[in-house]
């Protein structure tokens, strides 16, 4: 369970970066709402930065010098949720040896951020409604009525009106929390903010890892902009940092969108928006869209999983160029290796693990070969 955040320099504030119209419109609305001391409900997909938005609401409000306390509703069991929120007296239940203040007491004069509010138990929702309406509560096992000078900011990625219809969330509590509902824009709606954030995450991670400042190739930048980012900013950060580490601080040409794809599975894993490799009847491997190969592949050549990835069987690398008079054998081998690397990377949309599998190499063997020919490959 996350601990209280009481320091104005919240670690996530520096990552509120963006220049897109959707991002700026949201920030403008957030700044306007921050001045009004009323509950706010933040709605957004996973990874869109709801906790960061709640922290900005707090530090832009008149309560900015007070505590900013976080409670994750998803981590609460029904038996402990009430005590976590409202505190308990000594002897209130087995193991309660002394009085313990709840999150409302700790947040007095500041902001209480209820993350994953849709997961709050119904028994707690009843008492939470009273706090929101009257600003009063009692500790578990106590009779003294306490005053709560707290602003509540709740967040969810669930359909709260739908939960109300299912009887899993109180309609009157939703009415009180929904004084102002702010919808966080998903990353796919923020255009070039993807590149801005990617460069920020890449530079910061390189500094932490002691690597040279990285840069993204044209292909990598295009991939960043065309990917759907279902995990939003959190997924972008993980993908970028993983790619910086694998590029060892150099030019990032490959973005691994599918880290769970095993390098030992039957065929390389190619992301759903990538170009798959189909094997026509003639035997040579030709690139083509996964959904429309020229001829039907065999059962082993193409399998679709629930994750939206396509799995292809081994396909032959590009054939060697004819040896020409005056070409030395080392030069011929070098050209063959460069052509094979280019072809495999093109067919797997620069997924290095998939390219290694395509060429029948281990990932370490592929990386060594790629380092040897990196300059020649990246020039083309």
pLDDT at res. 326: 66
Reported as a pLDDT band with limits 50, 70 and 90, residue 112 is very high
Distance CA 339, CA 368 (A): 16
pLDDT at res. 6: 40
Dihedral over Cα of 258, 263, 264, 265: its sign: positive
Q: What does the chain come to in residues?
A: 380
In the chain, which ranges are continuous DSSP H helix?
21-34, 50-59, 78-86, 103-106, 122-134, 160-165, 171-177, 193-209, 218-226, 232-247, 329-347, 352-358, 363-379
pLDDT at res. 165: 96
Q: Identify the bridge partners of residue 183 per DSSP, sorted by sequence position.
A: 43
Query: Across the chain, what does the average pLDDT equal?
Result: 79
pLDDT at res. 91: 65
pLDDT tens for 190-232 read 999 999 999 999 999 999 999 998 999 999 999 999 999 999 9
Q: Identify the bridge partners of residue 296 per DSSP, sorted by sequence position.
A: none
Distance CA 200, CA 209 (A): 14
């Amino acid at each position: 369970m996350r601990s209280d955040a009481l320091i104005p320099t919240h670690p996530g504030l520096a990552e509120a970066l963006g220049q897109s119209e959707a991002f700026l419109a949201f920030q403008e609305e957030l700044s306007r709402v921050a001045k009004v001391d009323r509950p706010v409900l933040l709605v957004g997909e996973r990874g869109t930065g709801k906790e960061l938005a709640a922290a900005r609401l707090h530090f832009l409000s008149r309560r900015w010098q007070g505590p900013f306390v976080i409670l994750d509703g998803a981590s609460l069991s029904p038996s402990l949720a009430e005590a976590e929120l409202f505190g308990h007296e000594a002897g209130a239940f087995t193991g309660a040896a002394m009085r313990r203040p709840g999150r409302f007491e700790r947040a007095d004069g500041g902001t209480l951020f209820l993350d994953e509010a849709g997961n709050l138990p119904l028994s707690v929702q009843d008492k939470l409604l009273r706090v929101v309406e009257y600003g009063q509560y009692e500790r578990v096992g106590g009779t003294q009525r306490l005053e709560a000078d707290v602003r509540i900011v709740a967040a969810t990625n669930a359909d709260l009106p739908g939960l109300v219809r299912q009887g899993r969330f109180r309609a009157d509590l939703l009415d009180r929390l929904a004084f102002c509902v702010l919808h966080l824009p998903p990353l796919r709606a923020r255009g070039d903010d993807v590149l801005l954030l990617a460069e920020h995450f890449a530079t910061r991670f390189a500094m932490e890892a002691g690597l040279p400042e990285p840069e993204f190739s044209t292909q990598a930048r295009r991939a960043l902009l065309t990917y759907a980012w279902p995990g939003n900013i959190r997924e972008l950060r993980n993908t970028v940092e993983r790619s910086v580490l694998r590029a060892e601080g150099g030019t990032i040409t490959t973005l691994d969108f599918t880290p769970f794809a095993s390098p030992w599975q039957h065929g390389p894993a190619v992301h759903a928006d990538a170009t798959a490799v189909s094997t026509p009847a003639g035997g040579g491997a030709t690139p083509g869209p996964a959904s429309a190969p020229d001829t039907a592949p065999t059962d082993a050549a193409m399998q679709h999983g629930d994750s939206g990835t396509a799995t292809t069987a081994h396909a032959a690398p590009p054939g060697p160029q004819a040896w020409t008079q005056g070409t030395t054998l080392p030069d011929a081998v070098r050209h063959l290796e460069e052509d094979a690397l280019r072809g495999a990377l093109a067919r797997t949309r620069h997924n290095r693990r998939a390219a290694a599998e395509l060429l029948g190499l281990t990932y370490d063997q592929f990386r060594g070969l790629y380092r040897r020919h990196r300059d020649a490959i990246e020039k083309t």
